[in-house]
Amino acid sequence: MNNEMSEGRFRHIVRIAGVDVEGDLLIPYGLSKIKGIGYHTGLAIARIVGLDPQSRIGYLSDADVRRIEDVISNPLKYGIPDWYLNRRKDYVSGADKHLISADLIFEARSDIEREVRTRSWRGIRHQLGLKVRGQRTHTTGRIGPVVGVTKGKAAQQKQE
């Protein structure tokens, strides 16, 4: 256990990268509450910062939180490989980035708007509200009220 745990200073809510995280979660699970960071990225961040992944978020010091936020904002600087990032070869800048929270939502929405504007196949599918990634649509992805098929005695009584 690290020295922060021996101090006994536990916080029930810890603010990391603009997100309130519950203090009783393990570090990788707590970091995965931030949109754009999953369990494995949280585990990698904990190991880079030098924290025990089995410790709780509530025992992190302010310095630990600052180091975690720095790794989240500059993952390439700390040795996280570029294939670990969630936005490779950005459309505008061409750089590899790792986006979190509102930035991730904004970029995804702007990508869809760009595809709709250019009238690409994916953009048209998005515009029509259909499946985009080649899935079948014969039986799934339907909208509107359910029109079920009645079976058995109930169906026979209706016909009579």
Please give the average per-residue pLDDT across 65-76, as a whole number. 93
Work out whether the CA dihedral 153, 157, 158, 160 comes out positive or negative. positive
Q: Where are the domains of the chain?
A: 3-83, 100-137
Element (H, E) at 48: helix 39-49
Identify the architecture of domain 3-83 in CATH.
Answer: Orthogonal Bundle (1.10)
Residue with tokens 């699970």: 29
- According to the model, what pLDDT value does residue 27 have? 95
- According to the model, what pLDDT value does residue 1 have? 45
**Do the beta carbons of residue 117 and residue 124 sit within 8 Å?**
no
Dump pLDDT digits (tens) for 107-130: 999 999 999 999 999 999 999 999
Q: How far apart are CA 64 and CA 105, in angstroms?
A: 27
Cα separation of the two ends of the chain: 76
Q: Is the pLDDT of residue 156 over 70?
A: no
Percent of the chain with pLDDT over 70: 91
Reduced to 3 states, what is the DSSP secondary structure of residue 56? Answer: strand
Dump pLDDT digits (tens) for 17-35: 999 999 999 999 999 999 9
- Confidence (pTM): 0.73
